Amino acid sequence: MNALTIAPGAPVLEAQSLRREYRMGDERVVAVQDVSLSIAAGEYAAIVGPSGCGKSTLLNLLGVIDRPTTGSVRIAGRQVESLSDAEATRFRLLHVGFVFQRFYLMPALSALENVELPMSEAGMARAERRARASELLGYVGLGKRERHRPSRLSGGEQQRVAVARALANRPSLLLADEPTGELDARTGTEMIALLERLSADGTTIVVVTHDEKLARATRRVVHMLDGRVERDEPVR
Amino acid sequence: MLAVLGVAVSAAMLLDMVMLATGMRQSLRSLLLSRGFQLRVAPKGTLPFDTEATLDSTSALAARLRANPDVVSVSPVLGGHVHVRPRSGDGAALTSVALGVESTVQGDYELLNGGDATADDALVVNDAFLAASHRRIGDSLTVAVDYDPQLRAYAGTRLMRLTGRARFLYLAAGQRAVAMPLATLQSLGGAARADRSSLVMVRAREGADVERTRLWIERTFPRSAAISTETAMRQVDERLSYFRQLAFILGSVSLIVGFLLVTTLVTVSVNERLGEIAVLRAIGVARHRVVTQIVLEGVAIMTVATPLGLALGLMTARWLNGILAAFPGLPEAIDFFLFQPSAAWASLGMLAVSGVLAGVYPSWRGASQPIATTLRQEAIG
Ligand SMILES: Nc1ncnc2c1ncn2[C@@H]1O[C@H](COP(=O)(O)OP(=O)(O)OP(=O)(O)O)[C@@H](O)[C@H]1O
Ligand SMILES: [Mg+2]
């Protein structure tokens, strides 16, 4: 619903002069600085760079998990850097989908219930969210595993449940931090294919990755170094 | 699982202490009221049976009492001791508590079998007496009172028939006891006991103002004191306050132990799941929902532990009661630990409240960790 309200090509996300510092005692660590970035609707971008260059920090700023020291972030037309904690939580629930390196499904819930969780939090009626969760699990190829607990699913399957969960509330933006980081080559390839399919179906995606293959599968690669954007180029 | 057991033990302890704090008082009260006598008239300056002091002119006193429209029944009791020879020849004489009662209105014993002490020479005895004297219902035996060591003789003796077996409400379990008609015990003692009684129990009409009746008795019979169940309870309360303080302190301690246990449990479980919590927060689950969820898990532990604790508490209480009941000199019917649903509910309620409170802080703290930092630490760890 949110994705549909934004015309393809219009910016879903606009970051202006982002800076994020961490204070460690007397020292100041600058994790991200001078980053301005615009992501258009339907875009599929990768953020790459050496370890510690600030990729995860940037992604957290873009996803309203973290707040910039200075600078601003605008998502789906909404200024988000100054939202209160409760507002930011609500915003993430409705507008941003997250996939993490460690899948982090709720161990006590079935695959279906894990996907339902954000929808129930958003107040969607039971029957409706059941149906949508089921549909999403079908989409990621796990239609037959709805009842299974995460512990009975392989890593690749768990990550696909996590993708389905991230899509539950039809976010404007899907953010993934090393989505193939814990997967072996084969399941990693499957995950890349799934993300490509999502992108082809119109989802706006930003991934942080070390994975060459994943980066090459995207349309745009943002290279970071020492907290700054060093290069930003389309994938040929 | 161990955690559940720990909480159960502290619940059991709490329940026992609540039972102890209220139980003795309650069971004493119901014991005093068990036969419906709300008032006891005794010689002034004594507690019933505390001394050898007696009331004189008992029949006149009883008649005056009966004449009061608020009085339903009057039961004079004379207490003393009797001696009997055991059956097997010339072993030492056996001493037993003796009560002279009017069997139709008495409130001192419960007849278990046989006939009541209606005839002049009828004797109702308890099991301890039967066992020590090797007698059976139907046997005849000579009872004697007031052995005089100088004269080497008893002041009075009488051949009596053992008609019934009874449980004496106000006596300790192992104590030997016999009951006979009041007139018989009085006449056994000769002139010194004629028309005497140790105590007169009075049952007031239902709806009557017991306190007013009590005051009337004290005014009418200046040499006697009337004690109502309420005044007796007040005296008992004073004597038991030490007990209740102890129970209160131990109960509080077990509540605190339970509280700390749940806090520790929830803290450990939250620390184990910081990553999970951070992800829930990241995908947009509100903080209070995360807290509620974790607290509910704590409540679930409590829910499992509480019935266990209840069972454990009741078992311990019964066991301790058994030990304490063997205390010499205590009426058999006194319970130190009395199970009252209200006590169970009270301890349950306290436990539930403290369980929730114990869970709230650590889960709130866990749900308030900065999400990005937690995720990062989890990814490294
Ligand atoms: N919570 C924090 N406290 C202090 N310093 C931090 C914190 N988070 C990140 N940093 C620092 O900020 C810099 C960027 O960290 P970040 O996690 O964004 O890097 P990254 O590019 O994601 O690295 P990786 O590829 O290893 O995941 C690092 O130097 C890191 O030590
Ligand atoms: Mg990272």
Summarised one tens digit per residue, pLDDT across range A146-170 is: 999 999 999 999 999 999 999 999 9
Residue A91 included in any domain: yes
pLDDT for the residue A119: 97
Q: How many domains does chain A have?
A: 1
Q: Is the per-residue pLDDT at B72 higher than 70?
A: yes
Q: Please state, in angstroms and rounded to a whole number, the distance separating the CA atoms of residues B145 and A221.
A: 114
pLDDT for the residue A158: 96
Q: Is A81 part of the contact surface with chain B (CB cutoff 8 Å)?
A: no
pLDDT for the residue B89: 60
Could you tell me which of A43, A15, A41 has the C-alpha nearest to residue A220? A43
Please state the rounded mean pLDDT for residues A136-142. Answer: 95
Residue A50 included in any domain: yes
- pLDDT band at residue B132 using 50, 70 and 90 as cut-offs: confident
Mutation to probe ligand 1, out of B374, B376, B377 (largest number of atoms < 8 A from CB): B376
Q: Is B376 part of the contact surface with chain A (CB cutoff 8 Å)?
A: yes
Residue A2 included in any domain: no
Q: Please state, in angstroms and rounded to a whole number, the distance separating the CA atoms of residues B278 and B283.
A: 9
pTM attached to this predicted model: 0.69
What is the nearest CA distance from A48 to chain B, expressed in angstroms? 17
Please state the rounded mean pLDDT for residues B151-157. Answer: 75
Q: Is the per-residue pLDDT at B327 higher than 70?
A: no
B279 contacts A100? CB cut-off 8 A: yes
- Residue A10 or A74, more confident: A74
Q: Which of A61, A83, A92, A120 to mutate to test the interface with B (most CBs of B within 10 A)?
A: A92
Please state the rounded mean pLDDT for residues A106-117. Answer: 94
Distance A33 CA to ligand 1 centre (A): 13
Protein residue closest via CA to atom 30 of ligand 1 = A52
Instruction: Give residue A42's domain range.
Output: 11-106+155-160+170-234
pLDDT digits (tens, 9 = 90+) for B221-271: 888 888 888 888 887 788 778 877 888 888 888 888 888 888 888 899 899
Q: Is the per-residue pLDDT at B8 higher than 80?
A: yes
Contacts of B286 in chain A (CB under 8 A): 86, 89-90, 121
Average pLDDT of chain B to the nearest whole number: 83
pLDDT for the residue B26: 78
Could you tell me which of B298, B347, B254 has the C-alpha nearest to residue B23? B347
* Of A75-84, B15-24, B110-119, the least confident: B15-24
Could you tell me which of A198, A137, A200 has the C-alpha nearest to residue A171? A198
Distance B254 CA to ligand 1 centre (A): 46
- Residue B148 or A75, more confident: A75
Stretch (H or E) spanning B149: none
Stretch (H or E) spanning B74: strand B71-84
- Residue B317 or B340, more confident: B317
Residue A145 included in any domain: no
Q: Which of residues 9-38 of A touch B (CB under 8 A)?
A: none
pLDDT for the residue A1: 43
Tokens of B39: 């008032």
ipTM: 0.91
Q: Which of A23, A100, A158 to mutate to test the interface with B (most CBs of B within 10 A)?
A: A100
Q: Which of B283, B291, B292 to mutate to test the interface with A (most CBs of A within 10 A)?
A: B283
The partner residue sitting opposite A65, judged by closest CB among B289, B372, B378, is B372
* Of A130-139, B302-311, B327-336, the least confident: B327-336
CATH number at residue A195: 3.40.50.300
B379 contacts A89? CB cut-off 8 A: no
Contacts of A98 in chain B (CB under 8 A): 279, 282-283
Q: Is the per-residue pLDDT at A175 higher than 50?
A: yes
Burial of B332 (0-12, 13-18, 19+ CB in 10 A): middle
pLDDT for the residue B233: 82
Q: Is A83 part of the contact surface with chain B (CB cutoff 8 Å)?
A: no
Ligand 1 atom having least distance to the Cα of A57: 18
Residue A3 included in any domain: no
Average pLDDT of chain A to the nearest whole number: 93
pLDDT cut 70: percent of chain B above it: 94
Residue A122 included in any domain: no
pLDDT cut 70: percent of chain A above it: 96
pLDDT for the residue A4: 44
pLDDT digits (tens, 9 = 90+) for B266-322: 899 899 889 889 999 999 999 999 999 888 887 887 788 888 888 888 888 888 877
* Of A104-118, A170-184, B291-305, the least confident: B291-305
Residue A210 included in any domain: yes
Tokens of B234: 């007040």
pLDDT for the residue A3: 46
Residue A177 included in any domain: yes
